[in-house]
Amino acid sequence: MNPSTFLVQLSDQGLIRASGEDAAAFLHNLMTNDINHIPADGARNAGMCTAKGRLIASFLIWREGADYLLLLSADILPAILKKLSMYVLRSKVKLTSLADERVLFGVTGPDAARILGCDIAPMTTATIEGGTAIRLDQQRFILTTQPDVSAEVQAKLTTQTKSADLTAWHLAEIAAGIPRIVAATQEAFVPQMVNYEVAAVGGVSFQKGCYPGQEIVARTQYLGKIKRRMYRAKLDTPFPAGTDVFTPEAGDQHCGALVLTAPSPEGGHECLVVVQSSGAEAGEVHVGKPDGPRLQMLSLPYTLE
């Protein structure tokens, strides 16, 4: 067993399947990223926005044969499935929840690739014994399995990893600087606020055609400076995702919100936070109210351009 590589059942995430001959075109017309050109073994981050360019969901999308699988936060899955279904109209596409058909695991740590026997490139997929592995980065994999073999897969991996709760996975998400939209943060951010256009996140294509909110996302990119960005930080007191944050410059007006939070094994809590860049650079970001607890800013694994 490797005590620094963790196996986590991802009970707070779920899958939607898009199948049918129009599946790629259907998703391509709704998402912030290029879906038409995802390779057979590729995976991409993408978002779905309102007409005002505000994210209502973030996805990891990959292919399974001719179908497309969309991984998203479980608390928004039913509403997003209903929202997607409203766009189907005459398109030859079928959307289904895989809640009863797949079990999701996360494997994170320095030995994840060796343990899974799956040393593939980041943002690619591979079939492994018991299911499909999607490599997110150097240390994080998503593993999807069928319910009838999930216990066997879990038992086998547990001999080589340390079983952990969702905290371990959330900390890995935060350390990677990858956002995940949950119910509390729907419509709170345009894609650039959560660093979606940064190459390391890769959630927006500016070469593809229109999608809901595309004009605003493009305008944000090309006209003026992006004033709010997502940063990694630490705080002593726990606050949930969606909690407003403040800076002295903004006064009583909130200027961002927490994206994800998780308790740290070293004490306190780590988080991803969207906030006015000037406040983050000054180290003066307060949570909950203008004189609330101050965030301690930490580094991201990538640079903000």
CATH class belonging to 6-176? alpha beta
Q: Are 230 and 274 in contact (CB under 8 A)?
A: yes
* Domain range annotation of the chain: 6-176, 183-298
Map 226-268 to HEC letters. CCEEEEEEEECCCCCCCCEEECHHHCCCCCEEEEEEEECCCCC
Span 88-120, pLDDT tens digits: 999 999 999 999 999 999 999 999 999 999 999
| Topology of domain 183-298, CATH | Elongation Factor Tu (Ef-tu); domain 3 (2.40.30)
Per-residue pLDDT band at 2 (split at 50, 70, 90)? low
| Rounded-to-integer distance, Cα 205 and Cα 201, Å | 11
- In this prediction, residue 209 has a pLDDT band, given cuts at 50, 70 and 90, of confident
What would the pLDDT profile of 129-144 be if each residue is shown by its tens digit? 889 999 999 999 999 9
pLDDT at 71 over 60: yes
Specify the pLDDT at position 1: 53
**Does the pLDDT at position 225 exceed 90?**
no
Q: Which of 105, 138, 103, 102 is nearest to 119 (CA)?
A: 138
How many residues does this entry show for the chain?
Answer: 305
User: Mapping DSSP to helix (H, G, I), strand (E, B) and coil, where does residue 7 land?
Assistant: strand
Listed in sequence order, the DSSP H helices in 29-146 are 77-86, 112-116
Strand partners of residue 8: 106
Could you tell me the pTM of the whole model?
Answer: 0.96
Q: What whole-number distance in Å separates Cα of residue 201 and Cα of residue 122?
A: 11
pLDDT at residue 56 greater than cutoff 70: yes
pLDDT tens for 244-274 read 999 998 899 999 999 999 999 999 999 999 9
Average pLDDT over residues 198-208: 95
pLDDT reported for residue 8: 98
Pair of tokens at residue 299: 């580094």
Mean of pLDDT values over 299-303 = 96
H, E, C per residue of 286-303? EECCCCCCECEEECCCCC
